[in-house]
Amino acid sequence: MNYKRILLKLSGESLMGNKPFGIDPERVNQYAKDIKEVADKGVEVAIVIGGGNIHRGLDAEKGGMDRVQADYMGMLATVINSMALQDALEKAGIKTRLLSAIKMEQICEPFIRRRAVRHLEKGRVVIFGAGTGNPYFTTDTAASLRAIEIEADVVLKGTRVDGIYTADPEKDPNAVKFEKITFNEVYKKNLNVMDMTAFTLCQENKLPIIVFDMNKPGNFMKIALGEPIGTLVEG
């Protein structure tokens, strides 16, 4: 295996599958199967899930809601998604722990870095819920932050696109995929990989990012084995 410890970031929208909103159990079960394959090989897997399939702070603010209130609702949405994935992982036979940045003692542990690392060392898949616990941030930033805290080797951003392109491949047929790109090139070309806060955190801490298509079964394993199927951002 190419990595010892990885942080997988999944967007909330990815959990919708083909549904217009909410959580598609088929998609969640597929993710659980893919994650199990990699965890069974002894790779330590930590996961951050977004909440965009349920609630986004920025969108709610546009509708007139107080931004901080709306962001806390978004963080709660990530806990719902985390619980769905935790359930699917446990059903697939993986030991998991859900650690939340906002205390919810009945359903998950509070986030404590040393405890997270210990769970990983024991072979449990760790899910980080409630983002960073702070409004005005995103789950991409939570993913970068947690990855740095637990000293992950890489942040894997699982999307429905198979990497970073010169333009949006869903809109521009001439868009070309990068196999590898530096942090500076991403800035210069104004490419959309993660929000700036998340991206800068990775760059400053020399944490590589790989963007890849998580929706194709088996891709997560290929990435864990070091196959160049997505786009690697480093340097």
Return residues touching ligand UDP (CB under 6 A).
Answer: 11-13, 50-52, 56-58, 70-71, 74-75, 77-78, 131-132, 134-135, 137-142
Q: Is 138 annotated as belonging to a binding site?
A: yes
Query: Considering beta carbons, is residue 4 or 19 the nearer one to ligand UDP?
Result: 19
Q: Is 132 annotated as belonging to a binding site?
A: yes
Q: Give the nearest distance from C-beta 72 to ligand UDP in angstroms.
A: 7
Q: How far apart are the first and last CA of the chain?
A: 22
Q: Is 96 annotated as belonging to a binding site?
A: no
Q: Give the nearest distance from C-beta 60 to ligand UDP in angstroms.
A: 8
Q: Give the nearest distance from C-beta 73 to ligand UDP in angstroms.
A: 7
Q: Is 110 annotated as belonging to a binding site?
A: no
Three-state SS for 233?
strand
Query: Considering beta carbons, is residue 88 or 145 the nearer one to ligand UDP?
Result: 145
Q: Give the nearest distance from C-beta 80 to ligand UDP in angstroms.
A: 11
> Strand 5-10 relative to strand 44-49: parallel, antiparallel, unpaired?
parallel
Q: Is 168 annotated as belonging to a binding site?
A: yes
Report how far apart, in Å, the C-alpha atoms of 4 and of each of 39, 70, 153 are.
10, 36, 7
Q: Which residue is nearest to ligand UDP (CB)?
A: 50
Query: Considering beta carbons, is residue 57 or 230 the nearer one to ligand UDP?
Result: 57
DSSP state, residue 235:
-
Largest CA distance in the chain: 51
> Strand 231-233 relative to strand 180-181: parallel, antiparallel, unpaired?
parallel
Query: Considering beta carbons, is residue 29 or 134 the nearer one to ligand UDP?
Result: 134
Q: Give the nearest distance from C-beta 41 to ligand UDP in angstroms.
A: 26
Query: Considering beta carbons, is residue 153 or 195 the nearer one to ligand UDP?
Result: 195
Distance between CA atoms of residues 94 and 35, nearest Å = 9
Report how far apart, in Å, the C-alpha atoms of 60 and of each of 33, 76, 142, 189, 210 are.
34, 14, 20, 30, 30
Query: Considering beta carbons, is residue 74 or 163 the nearer one to ligand UDP?
Result: 74
To the nearest 10 degrees (0 to 180), the angle between helices 67-91 and 25-40 is: 60
Q: For the purposes of burial, counting CB atoms within 10 Å of the CB of 174, is it exposed (0-12), middle (13-18) or buried (19 or more)?
A: exposed
Q: Is 135 annotated as belonging to a binding site?
A: yes
Q: Is 159 annotated as belonging to a binding site?
A: yes
> Strand 209-213 relative to strand 231-233: parallel, antiparallel, unpaired?
antiparallel
Q: Give the nearest distance from C-beta 95 to ligand UDP in angstroms.
A: 25
| Residue 192 CB coordination number (10 Å) | 10
Annotated binding site for UMP: 51, 71, 132-139
Annotated binding site: 9-12, 51-52, 56, 71, 132-139, 159, 165, 168
Annotated binding site for ATP: 9-12, 52, 56, 159, 165, 168
